[in-house]
A and B are shown apart, each in its own frame.
Chain A
């Protein structure tokens, strides 16, 4: 709806903003120009480290410790933020600019009732404020009765909490709302509600919004305009329709290709390498080292902004060139298995819980060798509990569980070394799953020595594992905090592979990582599955991912498997209401035609790998 008439005063103008780190003086954000009109939603997308959160906070006139605005200006509703007195800044926040953070659970004060929190930033008498609070609550489709106002945040669901946060942001009718990944922690169906709420609230209040996200699919659905950030600059900005139909920066194109396709008609393709650190930005275009179009000129000079359409600008020398072919792995067709083959993992009538609280009930599942079975479900569906039962990390269950026909003990400590070797578990968050005090080499050898005792060819094992996980040999001597998120997860994969396992349990292993990294990890897993004959159990809440990696899918709802079958069958013809609603709630992201040309499938470019 971006009408873009020059008569409207923009709600937000960012002019040549520069934010630097202290004391390094490295530019975290540079040459940043933005304009958002009232009622317009601007989506800001980019990988981790691109500076999008720093930008979002700068719009509130807030700088994280160790950063400061060193140039340019930000003005909201005509008011310049730089040099404002702290009292004025306090007035500004909440009144003129509101902020919705990523995690509503930590944004709401757990000790205050919902009503009290919502009234906090409202002027006027308590009675007036209360009327306004009820009005806003109705608008975000929450109850407005006294019973609800008297509740504490922990008595609400995640989606309700986030809607309370949205209501809180809108109570004062701000001119601008900044949202930093507000739906990242939420389930797809909850996400859909929250997005709908955001959209209608912005429309009702004619409020400008800046929506920060790494999820291209969400932004494409919500935003009127999209700004793509890379290494502290906006490399492309334009209306959603323009950017999606005609992405002009190679980075935008690659970001779009990295989004998993719900219909699995095309492979998802990662972006090799990672964004440069603010301390080590390359001369010239920051994307040049990862860009297939880059030449010496790109590496020498930094491109300025060029207009490629109405209110659509791009920072690239090659914006008018067609996108180069991007190599991609063909989707391997799954071979049908002989009927007499025995399942690797057999689960029969499994029931699990925490104390008196039952989380899983009546779970029966057979996983055959070489298959990838996805466990799909929202948070609280019990998918992680199930995977932990299989890994021997959750002991409180009954029912049968066997590996290669041998029963598996509930606790990993009571399992045989061979069983522990055969089943390996990869955790969701690579920032948590690697001991920060151990080198990569030690980390990889840890499970090996645990199941095989001291081994003589340890160097060889580490080298093989690193190579399989597409890591460099010199990664062996590094500590986890010297690695990027994607590299860490590869280390976790290498660690799991080092014992030559038969079954790999992957618990949401891509959800903490960027899309570009996500697709290369999925690629890696698929290759490994084919090359090593691995059996994969892939736990996820992301339907599009399921389509891209798994052959079979088990849909979990509230601790029960409601649907199980071949992926194509389940998605083509979902039998259960829950599966249908999941598919419906997921934004179906379609690639623009420009990237869809048959040439894209060709492979004349150097192979991908994290270099």
Chain B
């Protein structure tokens, strides 16, 4: 199909932006990606700007009786201790975001490393890494996190570590698959023939060619991280009272959901909107990345 091939690349023509740049640009052409970006951008902005615009201190100001309905003490009422729901909501997203992002970066980073290493070196190393991963995959992500967090006590670094490590085998598996087709290509051999160190081949030659897989994987894992971190906080293994945190807010206030619904509804809606948003963006990226990794010529 040499004809198609060259026609295609000539059509692609000179002056086209590089593949790497155009992944996001191409993704943004679809409406769902834009919608997703708007949704998650809104929640992100709320979480990061929120603490500075909160009318009250989220932890120290007791503005009205506990579980006051909307309008009393604040536009959304008060929580179980009589603190302003709006202020706690505005202040409670930041940590969740940071923890999720760090955990995702950790999981995708380490997972990519393991995946690329396994794909590139093959042999016993591949087997060892992937079979270990299989064992880890046998446990649901949250069970392992619960286990270690309850043994060692709720600490944020451990929470991040457990969520991140939970992603590792899942990411590694996907990345290995994507990297396998790249390591077979001749430019890898070309780099080997001039003696470029293997770690530089992995970082400089393989990773850029699986960047869209990584982008998609990051989005997907971020969605899971948000759910996991919020879930662990809800279970009392994340942020500790009196800190403001969305997961914690849901737990603290759920007994009075009928009296003061906003104290539960606000964090729930925010988390839902955020995960739907990141999912839409990921979806858009995945669609836009079709063919862009092996792509270009195929």
Contacts and interface: CB of A to CB of B under 8 A. Distances in A.
Given A278-B11, A432-B186, A481-B9, A53 B19 contact: no
Contact of B1 (A51, A102, A437): A102
Contacts of B4: 53, 64
A21 interface: yes
Contacts of A279: 10-11, 13
B195 A415 contact: yes
A316 interface: no
B205 A436 contact: no
Interface string A467-499: 000000000001111111100000010010001
Contacts of A21: 11
B72 interface: no
Given A436-B297, A451-B195, A481-B297, A50 B3 contact: yes
Given A434-B187, A482-B12, A412 B194 contact: yes
Interface residues of A, number: 55
Contacts of B2: 48, 214, 485, 512
B55 interface: no
Contacts of A51: 3, 7
A43 to B, nearest CB: 15
A87 to B, nearest CB: 28
Interface string A401-430: 000000000001101010010001101110
A52 B3 contact: yes
B5 interface: yes
B269 interface: no
Contact of B14 (A49, A393, A432, A482): A482
B192 to A, nearest CB: 6
B194 A482 contact: no
Contacts, number: 130
Contact of B194 (A50, A52, A434, A447): A447
A437 B297 contact: no
A392 B3 contact: no
A28 interface: yes
B190 interface: yes
A432 B3 contact: no
B49 interface: no
* Contact-residue bracket for chain B: 35 or more
A167 B275 CA distance: 56
Contacts of A437: 18-20, 208-209, 211
B296 interface: yes
A331 interface: no
Interface string B187-226: 1011111111010000001001101000000000000000
Given A48-B3, A435-B209, A481-B296, A277 B10 contact: yes
B7 A433 contact: no
Contacts of A481: 9, 12, 16, 19, 296-297
A479 B18 contact: yes
Contacts of B185: 432-433
Given A49-B7, A52-B3, A53-B4, A450 B18 contact: no
B39 to A, nearest CB: 30
A384 to B, nearest CB: 11
B18 to A, nearest CB: 6
Interface string B66-98: 000000000000000000000000000000000
A391 B14 contact: no
A54 interface: yes
A512 B297 CA distance: 13
B6 interface: yes
A336 interface: no
B10 A484 contact: yes
A24 interface: yes
B209 A53 contact: no
Interface string B1-41: 11111110111111110111000000000000000000000
B232 to A, nearest CB: 38
A436 B3 contact: no
Contact of A53 (B1, B11, B12, B15): B1
User: 8 closest A-B pairs (Cβ-Cβ)?
Assistant: A277-B10, A447-B194, A53-B3, A437-B208, A433-B186, A48-B6, A432-B186, A450-B194
Interface of A: 21, 24, 26, 28, 48-54, 64, 102, 214, 277-280, 391-393, 412-413, 415, 417, 420, 424-425, 427-429, 431-438, 446-447, 450-451, 478-485, 492, 495, 499, 512
11 contacts: A48-B7, A51-B3, A278-B11, A420-B195, A425-B190, A428-B186, A434-B187, A437-B19, A437-B208, A480-B296, A481-B9
